Structure 1
Amino acid sequence: MHFLFIEPYYGGSHRVFADSVVRHSQHQWTLMTGKPVHWKWRMRSSALDFAKQADRGASEESPWDALVCSSMLDLPTWRGLTKRVELSCLPTAVYFHENQWMYPDSPDARSDHHYGYTNLLTAIAADGCLFNSRFHLDGFLDAAKSFVRRMPDSVAIHDFDSLKEKSQVIAPGFDPWTIKRQQANQAGTTLRIGWVARWEYDKRPDRFVEFLRLLDRAGVEFNLVLLGKRGNHDAPALTQIRQHFGNRILFDDFVESVDEYRSWLEQVDFVVSTADHEFFGIAVCEAIWAGAVPVLPNRLSYLDWADDEFRYETLGEAVSIVQRLADWQQREQAAQRARQRIATLQTPNIVTMFDKSMEVMAGKPNKP
């Protein structure tokens, strides 16, 4: 089969997933991509851009069997702008890496529900909706229902039962690699704490600072590996970490090279998340694969693939996880348990599931 994949925001997890599908799928793919900048403009302009591209790229003799797009595409608008009927009638799956209703608002942010409603209309227009976690699927449906209930009319025309029925969870997964991790960080050596998230508000790096202070007060010796994407200006939390724990930082930068990034992951003993928001968590999975023990909030998408022993309710409990596994032998055993838990999330397995879902969709009749 031959599928069309439209990814308006070809960067980060969006790019990783699209590339993984093209690389591991047994089917043929045409990949159309946009720049990973100015996400609001991508959502507004990409329908017109990719309608024109698809019109030019469609083959009269061999049209695509189905379409996949990410939730950054305004699907109803794209369908309306295509000039070729066979394109507007393609069976379509939307992959939701995120939606614009569930991000926690930063203190100075103003809510704009237009983008969330665009996500909802795209989901309604699609033949199938794929979400990267159960947390995301359930949260999106709850947020959509909450928004629609507040509207002045046309509430009943939103068929959430049908939307739920055509939705499923397929994780984006992670690319495994051969681990070159050095000998375990044994007794008497300093523990290495890793941060792999974006240094942005929804990941709550301020809470990570508080975790480090609690760890320090508890007398735990630690060093830091600070990865994760940074903005144009350093996050206040990162500045505080440099001021208070500068002598403990082994590495502090965003790494472009995949090999270098993985080499730093392989030096981490504990990967810590303090996020208020996580739709899946590719970076944490990669750290676990590299041998780190996860220390994660007892919520969000982590419930899908991290066992209770690695989840905390309070930062004090997070510190306790580190203390409990300070012994290198117990830590190595725990790391193996965490690694086994995510083994099924390797991208070859995920893409096999994705292929099957697309095959079923392509076989469905889809009339204009």
Structure 2
Amino acid sequence: MQSEGPRVLLVEPFYGGSHKQLVDLLQQNVPDCCLCSLPAKKWPWRARTAALHFSQSIPVCSSYRVLFSSSVLNLCELVALRPDLARLKKVLYFHENQLVYPVRKDQERDFQYGYNQVLSCLVSDVVVFNSVFNMDSFLSSISSFMKRIPDHRPRDLDLLIRPKCVVLYYPIQFPDVSRCGEFPSSGGQQDDPHEFSCEPGTDQRPVGEGDQRRPLHIVWPHRWEHDKNPEMFFSTLMKLKEKQVDFHLSVLGETFTEVPEIFSEARRQLDAHIQNWGYLSRDRYLQVLLQADVVVSTARHEFFGVAMLEAVHCGCYPLCPKALVYPELFPAEYLYSTPEQLCKRLQGLCRRPDDARRHVVQVDTSSFSWMSLKERFVSLLSAECP
């Protein structure tokens, strides 16, 4: 029997990056979906005004049963402007949260963004977070966040929101990594994790004679922005250089309008160590991850961390801060507490690179794949409320 119309309305005000990848994946795999989106530009304006745009552009349709949106949307405004959408099962997905998202100075934090997210939670039926860290940091910050209101402050909002909350990890589209470093040029989603040519988390590169003499290859695959703390990363590598420790370096990731000054200085000082520098095509990016030995995060903010898990899937040994989402995803042996600890760990691996190359990382990346998470997403987008 043919469907009478779309049952699931996907609304994405910031259709780019991980936001785009998620709704595209849902649209491809969940029957009867309809996507309404705006390009991933000018995030502050999307957060402020997308609801009004969608109130006019979303077609009226009697078959809708579920509305799924990222938390960029002010869902409260949308359902007030479109009462026909208020009756749907409303699912809100948090890639990040604006209550703890880092700003240079707390005075710079725009109250409206976090306030919109709290209001959206209050009108949602299900509030989904991509990690326990994301959920807990949001809920535990609501009370102090609301204290910025001069008087007549609302109380116990976290108690109203918490019963609606669930954690559902972001589904990563892992490449089909083979032992010889080949993968489909499409970079497409594998439906079955058992189709991988090697077990996720194992070392893809055989360690041969003379391998110990090849310098350790360190990769930093993050956005070139201050919240990823490139200053700490490059400061650590410059200390290694001062100690005359040999290593190879690949600094990947996307650049935006304002690139932190440290990148030009680091490129000059670390030039002799650099293998790759800057944004790469998907295929070339994966090739570099397959060639690298260690992947490092120095992030000041991370609610999930696709880049680190992709690198681990490609065989890299991870080093992450003992903070944010990382203790949730990585065992303690891959975590460091201070810049000094990171430097010491990297120095040890530079001197014995086979320790990283022979190591089997104790992270089952297949548990973050679409195949593992598909049933939960399909259930989430069914018309029945939990």
Q: Same fold (TM over 0.5)?
A: yes
Partner residue, 2:277: 252
2:159 is the alignment partner of 1:161: yes
Partner residue, 2:36: 32
2:117 is the alignment partner of 1:92: no
Partner residue, 2:238: 213
Counterpart code for 2:78: W
Pairwise CA distance, 1:189: 0.5
Counterpart code for 1:364: C
Contact 2:146 2:154 (C-alpha < 8 Å) held by counterparts: no
Partner residue, 1:198: 223
2:312 is the alignment partner of 1:288: yes
Pairwise CA distance, 1:51: 1.7
Contact 1:305 1:342 (C-alpha < 8 Å) held by counterparts: no
- Structure 2 distance, partners of 1:102, 1:344, is 27
2:385 is the alignment partner of 1:364: yes
Q: Deviations over 1:223-257 (max 9, x none)?
A: 111101112343212112111101111111112x3
- Structure 1 distance, partners of 2:146, 2:379, is 33
- Structure 2 distance, partners of 1:123, 1:42, is 18
Partner residue, 1:68: 68
Distance 1:141 1:240, change over 3 A: same
Distance 1:109 1:240, change over 3 A: farther
- Structure 2 distance, partners of 1:35, 1:329, is 45
Contact 2:70 2:92 (C-alpha < 8 Å) held by counterparts: yes
Give 3-state SS (helix, strand or coil) of 2:104's partner.
Answer: coil
Distance 1:108 1:364, change over 3 A: closer
Pairwise CA distance, 1:212: 0.6
Question: Of 113, 125, 128, which aligns to 1:127?
Answer: 125
Contact 2:92 2:121 (C-alpha < 8 Å) held by counterparts: yes
- Structure 2 distance, partners of 1:251, 1:175, is 23
Contact 1:209 1:240 (C-alpha < 8 Å) held by counterparts: no
Question: Of 342, 364, 367, which aligns to 1:341?
Answer: 364
Contact 2:143 2:157 (C-alpha < 8 Å) held by counterparts: no
Counterpart code for 2:361: R
Paired-residue identity, %: 30
TM-score relative to the length of structure 2: 0.85
Give 3-state SS (helix, strand or coil) of 2:385's partner.
Answer: coil
The 5 Å alignment of 1:220-299 reads 220-255=245-280, 257-299=281-323
- Structure 1 distance, partners of 2:366, 2:326, is 15
Pairwise CA distance, 1:323: 4.2
Contact 1:191 1:222 (C-alpha < 8 Å) held by counterparts: yes
Structure 2 residue ranges without an equivalent (≥5): 1-5, 182-203
Q: Deviations over 1:158-213 (max 9, x none)?
A: 53212111111111131111221554482110111111111111111001111112
Contact 2:99 2:114 (C-alpha < 8 Å) held by counterparts: yes
Give 3-state SS (helix, strand or coil) of 2:128's partner.
Answer: strand
The 5 Å alignment of 1:44-59 reads 44-54=48-58, 56=59, 58-59=60-61
Give 3-state SS (helix, strand or coil) of 1:8's partner.
Answer: strand
- Structure 1 distance, partners of 2:233, 2:258, is 18
Partner residue, 2:189: none
Pairwise CA distance, 1:135: 1.1
Contact 2:55 2:81 (C-alpha < 8 Å) held by counterparts: yes
Give 3-state SS (helix, strand or coil) of 1:143's partner.
Answer: helix
CA RMSD of aligned residues (A): 2.2
Partner residue, 1:104: 102
Question: Of 326, 346, 351, which aligns to 1:322?
Answer: 346
Pairwise CA distance, 1:154: 4.1
Contact 1:306 1:341 (C-alpha < 8 Å) held by counterparts: no
Distance 1:222 1:325, change over 3 A: closer
Give 3-state SS (helix, strand or coil) of 1:79's partner.
Answer: helix
Contact 1:305 1:341 (C-alpha < 8 Å) held by counterparts: no
2:26 is the alignment partner of 1:21: yes
Distance 1:347 1:325, change over 3 A: farther
- Structure 2 distance, partners of 1:14, 1:220, is 40
TM-score relative to the length of structure 1: 0.89
- Structure 1 distance, partners of 2:233, 2:107, is 22
Structure 1 residue ranges without an equivalent (≥5): none
- Structure 2 distance, partners of 1:196, 1:345, is 19
- Structure 1 distance, partners of 2:149, 2:116, is 15
- Structure 2 distance, partners of 1:132, 1:169, is 6
Counterpart code for 1:347: W
- Structure 2 distance, partners of 1:325, 1:175, is 29
Contact 2:238 2:270 (C-alpha < 8 Å) held by counterparts: no
Q: Deviations over 1:15-63 (max 9, x none)?
A: 122222223x343321111111101110122111112222x2x434xx1
Q: How many residues align?
A: 353
Partner residue, 2:186: none
Partner residue, 1:3: 8
Partner residue, 2:378: 355
Pairwise CA distance, 1:102: 1.4
Give 3-state SS (helix, strand or coil) of 1:130's partner.
Answer: strand
Give 3-state SS (helix, strand or coil) of 2:96's partner.
Answer: coil
Pairwise CA distance, 1:347: 2.2
